[in-house]
A and B are shown apart, each in its own frame.
Chain A
Amino acid sequence: MNAQTSPHSLPVHVGARAAAIAALALGGLLVLVVGFSPLPAVHDATHDTRHSAGFPCH
């Protein structure tokens, strides 16, 4: 355990890396839902967003 850790937390660099990966994964998931979800309600609500952001829509 190095100087940057406390008994209750991971080392700072591990926490930062995990946060960066979580941000990438959550961001990617949001983009997939908005751009690609086949659910009719999601398609209808995001219809104009999909067309103008260049996603294939229907």
Chain B
Amino acid sequence: MTFSAVLAGISAAFLLTLAQAFWVTPLILQAESYEEAAVSGAPAENPVVGLDAWRLETGWPRLLATAAGNGLLGIGYGLMLTGLYAWRRPKGMAQGLAWGLGGFVAFFAAPGSGLPPELPGDYAAELGARQAWWLATALCTAAGLGLVCLQEHRPLRILGGLLLVLPHLVGAPHPPLSGGLAPETLRTQFRLATLLSNALFWGVLGGVAAAAFRRFCPAD
């Protein structure tokens, strides 16, 4: 089980790292250049934005740290998926992709619909409040999807539906001013880049984890 999770996590993280190196990270670097310009030009103009304290040297050290972060994240999500596979054995690759889609919705799309992926220098509400809403939304969406898709019992499915909409009724914490230091076009590009790279990540994670789980964890 652990081997399946690690294999799937590393494969998905490798593709995510490639997508980041060529598409996502250059957008982050561009946003940081606007951030640096704003901090050096008019320091007190906007108190909500502090210069991001990046200390690793841009280039290989930064790419390697990101690759390691992606690897750990991939293994983490992979372990969670294979833990669920031990409970509901996937019948094939297609079911693995469906689990991947579920992970994408619970851990990217649902939290991202209220708190879209941020570029450095974006105006944002207080970090603790955003983290709490993100986590609560991911948990409610995962539980809601599980109840709606895997339960036959009607009241449980209705409860699942309520859990899916509840975080959005409460609403994500937003700053008084929307936008950020980087231009809107960069923000749009960043949202598209993260959407596609995370969809790829979750598809590969769900599919490879299912195939590896079926191969290495024989049914009882």
Per-residue A-contact encoding for B101-145, CB less than 8 Å = 1, 0 else: 000000110011001111110001001001100110000000000
Question: Within A7-38, which residues are at the interface with B (CB < 8 Å)?
Answer: 12-13, 16-17, 19-24, 26-31, 33-36
On chain B, the number of residues with a Cβ less than 8 Å from chain A's Cβ atoms is 55
Instruction: Please tell me which one of the listed residues B53, B80, B108 contacts residue A54 in the complex, with CB atoms under 8 A apart.
Output: B108
Find chain A residues with CB under 8 A from B212 CB: none
User: Given contacts A44-B55, A46-B65, is CB(A31)–CB(B76) below 8 Å?
Assistant: yes
In this complex, the member of A16, A29, A33, A52 whose beta carbon has the largest number of chain B beta carbons within 10 angstroms is A52
A35 near B73: Cβ-Cβ < 8 Å: yes
Per the bound structure, the CA–CA distance linking A30 and B75 in Å amounts to 8
Find chain A residues with CB under 8 A from B28 CB: 48, 51-52
Segment at the interface with A among B82-90, B153-161, B162-170, B177-185: B82-90
The minimal Cβ–Cβ distance linking A1 to chain B, given in whole angstroms, is 17
Find chain B residues with CB under 8 A from A26 CB: 76, 79
Closest to B25 in A: A48
Q: Say whether B92 faces chain A, with CB atoms less than 8 Å apart.
A: no
Per the bound structure, the CA–CA distance linking A40 and B2 in Å amounts to 29
A58 near B52: Cβ-Cβ < 8 Å: yes
Per the bound structure, the CA–CA distance linking A49 and B117 in Å amounts to 11
Instruction: Please tell me which one of the listed residues A30, A35, A45, A57 contacts residue B118 in the complex, with CB atoms under 8 A apart.
Output: A57
A23 near B134: Cβ-Cβ < 8 Å: no
Residues of B participating in the A interface, judged by any CB pair closer than 8 Å: 1-2, 5, 16, 20, 24-25, 28, 50, 52-56, 62, 65-66, 68-70, 72-73, 75-84, 86-87, 107-108, 111-112, 115-120, 124, 127, 130-131, 134-135, 193-194, 197-198, 220
Leading 4 A-B pairs by shortest Cβ distance: A27-B79, A30-B76, A49-B69, A23-B83
A-B contact pairs, 11 of them (CB 8 A): A16-B220, A27-B78, A34-B72, A48-B20, A48-B62, A49-B66, A51-B119, A52-B193, A52-B198, A56-B124, A56-B127
